[in-house]
Structure 1
Amino acid sequence: DSHNSDEYRIKGDLLYASLHLIQKGMKEVTVDNYYDGAKMTIELDERFDGKTNANHYYNKYQKAKNSLKVLEEQIEKTKEEINYFDTLNTLMDNADYYDALEIKEELENMGYIRKKNVKKLKKKTHPHYDVYRTRDGIIIYVGKNNLQNDYLTFKMASRNDMWFHVKDMPGSHIIVHAENLDEYTMRLAANIAAYFSKGKYSSSVPVNYCLVKNLKKPHTNKPGLVLLGHYKTIYIDPDDSFYDELEKVEDAR
């Protein structure tokens, strides 16, 4: 309706141009449409004269025009909400007990679910996350929810660490604590990123990677989002073979 609001403006214009044909009590009037040369029949409110009826159409036009902007903003917000919960669904698929608790905490912080009045526990120094060591002694960090992803990428990681994440779909942030990665480590980290993502059961999954210093946090209250600067993309067929090549360790930092 809002996209078709020009019709209200045209009717207002035509009524103003035809005031001499309109009297109170008329329910409609047929006028010359000078926009297309045809005749147009316009509904009237029989209680009012031509000028008031024309103004009513102008008001409808302005209201529809204003609502279009609001509607477009609401559509964008709704798309953001859909993407956000799509991300949470994907992260829940790969979550253990502690990951799921932090997803619950995130939803409480965002106001989606109500916080329960429970005894206050000692505040954690950082979220729970997985840490692995490769056969070459390189440490790899895996964020399994948005709180972990934010912490690893924007608080824990060093500027020259390498960051991995699937392209254009929800998934884990992978931080590799090393510089000048060889092909083996690159493909290993990309496999982890693809496995802990919505593309887990797909093939040739695109994974973006870049130095942490090329990442920025967008202006949004939604956690887990990043803006990429200079980055590259690698394609990988995800599988769980990486577990055989990694040793799970406590936080090595």
Structure 2
Amino acid sequence: MNHNNYYFLKHLTAKLHSILQGALFVEGFSTSKQELWLLFKTTDGSYFPIKFNTINTDSVLSFPIDAPLPKNKQPQFRLFESKVVVEVKVHDFERSFHIQFAGGLYLYIKLFGKNGNVISLNQNTVVDVFRKQLKADTQLDFAQITAPQTIAVSDLLQAAATTAEVAKKLPFIPADAVEELNSTGYFEADAAQKKQMAERVLNTLATSQFYISKTNNGYALTFYNKGEVLGDYTDAITAQNDFARLYLGKYFFEEKKNNLVNTLKQRKDKLEKEIHSKKTKLNTIATQTPYNHIGDILMAHLYQLQKGLEKTTLLNFYTNQNIDIKLKKELTPQENAENYYRKAKNQVKEIEVLQDNLQKAETELVEISEKLETALQAADGKSLRGMEKDKQATENIDKPTLFKEFEKSGYTILVGKNSVNNDLLTQKHAAKNDVWLHARGLAGSHVVIKTKPGQTVPVDVLEYAASLAAYFSKGRTDSLCPVIYTEKKYVRKPKGAAAGQVVVEKENTLLVKPAFQ
């Protein structure tokens, strides 16, 4: 059965009435948007809590008498504090009930699946609602909800010819009771038999005998001793508590499992892309002409070259084929050769970094894949113990970075995302010896190269960072863009300057092509 049905609530509210009549409302509080506590002090001086949870498409009550009260809580329904309970009453043929207090105050608890809610009223006027997103609950007619209803249940049940007709005309009959009728041949029986069978079912629903059974989809709180029964009860509160513990436990386990699986899948996908990218980069480096070979070719043909060339075509004596070589026109042929030798040295470092990071990524991928398989096969909370730390660690790895991050030859390059973020990068995260770059005279991002102690930033790293500074500026579409660079210690922010505005006291300039690689 649906655990929130009229017949079970009749038993539950009768028990609650016997406990809470004359009790004082101590406090109401929420621990989240899905959990509300109502705490009472009974006439014998003991405390009695009612906990209301909404999960997915359901509403669940429990009564955690022995559980410690949560520390982080938001007060709710303060109007009811110290008010005396007069009555707890179920609403006729509904999945709802109310707690009436002296002075005409009410707490209306409706257990309508995903639309479950707790509403406070003064007489017939709504004062407050727990789940404020349910706008219709602020306009409800409480007098109509609590008005007595008369339904000839036995007569209508005997007149029903199918289970569908029962569900339509008598929706408050629990599904397990309808299944009992169907499985015992009720709908094929004659009138006398149907009357007898109907009365037997209604008598069962009126009896305080409950069962919790395990189903294919989880757990059921039922009036019938069928299936894999985990417990039988005569006390509705105890039955509801045990059911809520199992039901909510399964829900929160599945939620935790799904979150963990999704986190691990995302990390696995990211690692696979990272590995593919690094392998592609290494393959590109391996298949292109080595920089030191280009340097050798230039040195061998110095007599054919002169300053001012932007490119040349020479014989590659390593392959016996012609090769097109880019040159910097402001450099002499020998200086261009030296530049390629310098690039070769930096590329060796870049390959080492790529290979090291590739190995780390491949090792982590194996570990993540194993953890993902374990999480997918987990059947209970014990199987997930210890994996929450893995989830948190993975989330920390994958959470968005504060700045745009790039890497070149083992150097980290940070790029601001906006004016305020530029200030944060330059003023708070850049060390005094880091290299700071910005497109000259143009609005754009601050760029910082994180330096290494005792090492000079290689030219290719500086040029790469400059191309990023040009790209993340108003000069992005220009063929060439001037970029200033200096050590961070020469960059200061004047008092009262707008976000992102700085003064540079000492600078150098590079002319680069805007590029985002």
TM-score, length basis structure 2: 0.22
Compare the two structures and name the one with the higher strand fraction: 2
Comparing both chains, which one has the higher relative contact order based on Cα–Cα distances under 8 Å and sequence gaps of 6 or more?
1
Larger radius of gyration: 2
TM-score, length basis structure 1: 0.43
